[in-house]
Structure 1
Amino acid sequence: MTSRIALVTGASAGIGASCAAALSAAGHRVALMARGESALQTVAATLPGQTLVVPGDVTSRDSVEATFAQVEQHWGPVEVLVHCAGSGASKPLVDTSDDQWQQMLDLNLTAPFRCLRRALPGMTSAGFGRIVVVASVVAKRGESRVAAYTASKHGALGLVRAAAAEVARTGVTVNAVCPGYVDTPMTESTISAIASRKDISHEQARELLGCRQPIGRLVTPDEVADAVMLCVGSGAITGQGINVDGGAVQS
Structure 2
Amino acid sequence: MTMTPFKGRHALVTGGNRGIGRTIAASLVKVGATVTIIGRSPASLEEAISRGDAHGAAVADVTDAQAVRRAVQEAVDRYGPVDLMIANAGSAASAPFMKTGPEVFRQMLDVNLLGVTNMAQAVLGSMTERGFGRIVAVASTAGLKGYPYVSAYCAAKHAVIGFVRALALETAKTGVTVNAVCPGFTDTDLVAESLDRIMTKTNRTRDETLAEFVKHNPQGRLIDPSEIADAVLWLCGEGARSVTGQAILVAGGEI
Structure 1 length-normalised TM: 0.95
* Greater CA drift, 59-68 or 206-215: 206-215
Q: 1:236 aligns with which of 228, 242, 250?
A: 242
- Alpha-carbon distance in 2 for matches of 1:38, 1:62: 22
- Alpha-carbon distance in 2 for matches of 1:12, 1:244: 21
User: How many Å apart are 1:176 and its aligned residue?
Assistant: 0.2
User: How many Å apart are 1:119 and its aligned residue?
Assistant: 1.0
Q: Does 1:174 align with 2:163?
A: no
Identity level (%)? 38
Q: 1:201 aligns with which of 198, 201, 205?
A: 205
- Deviation string 1:9-49 (CA, Å, 9 cap, x unpaired) is 0011110000001110010000011111111111112227x
- Deviation string 1:175-220 (CA, Å, 9 cap, x unpaired) is 0000000011221233234334543023321233123211111001
* Greater CA drift, 39-48 or 150-159: 39-48
5+ unaligned residues in a row in structure 2: which ranges?
A: none
Match of 2:119 in 1: 115
- Alpha-carbon distance in 1 for matches of 2:251, 2:130: 34
Q: Is the 8 A contact 2:6 2:28 kept in 1?
A: no
SS for the counterpart of 2:122 is helix
5+ unaligned residues in a row in structure 1: which ranges?
A: none
Q: 2:59 aligns with which of 37, 52, 55?
A: 55
- Alpha-carbon distance in 1 for matches of 2:244, 2:191: 28
* Greater CA drift, 27-36 or 179-188: 179-188
- Deviation string 1:48-76 (CA, Å, 9 cap, x unpaired) is 7x711112111111210111110111122
* Greater CA drift, 185-194 or 137-146: 185-194
Q: Is the 8 A contact 1:87 1:186 kept in 2?
A: no
- Alpha-carbon distance in 1 for matches of 2:202, 2:249: 28
SS for the counterpart of 1:177 is strand
Q: 1:46 aligns with which of 30, 33, 51?
A: 51
Q: Does 1:247 align with 2:253?
A: yes
SS for the counterpart of 1:54 is strand
Deviating beyond 4 angstroms after TM superposition, the runs of 4 or more aligned structure 1 residues are none
SS for the counterpart of 1:160 is helix
- Alpha-carbon distance in 2 for matches of 1:55, 1:151: 27
User: How many Å apart are 1:77 and its aligned residue?
Assistant: 1.5
Q: Is the 8 A contact 1:25 1:47 kept in 2?
A: no
Q: How many residues align?
A: 248
Q: Does 1:13 align with 2:3?
A: no
Match of 1:33 in 2: 38
| Alignment RMSD | 1.4
Q: 2:107 aligns with which of 100, 103, 106?
A: 103
- Alpha-carbon distance in 2 for matches of 1:215, 1:197: 27
**What is the one-letter code of the residue matched to 1:207?**
A
Q: Does 1:152 align with 2:146?
A: no
Q: Is the 8 A contact 1:173 1:239 kept in 2?
A: yes
SS for the counterpart of 2:63 is coil
**What is the one-letter code of the residue matched to 2:10?**
I
- Alpha-carbon distance in 1 for matches of 2:124, 2:173: 13
- Deviation string 1:107-160 (CA, Å, 9 cap, x unpaired) is 000111111111111001000000100000010011110000000000001111
**What is the one-letter code of the residue matched to 2:249?**
N
- Deviation string 1:89-119 (CA, Å, 9 cap, x unpaired) is 1011111012111110100001111111111
Q: 1:183 aligns with which of 156, 181, 187?
A: 187
SS for the counterpart of 1:144 is coil
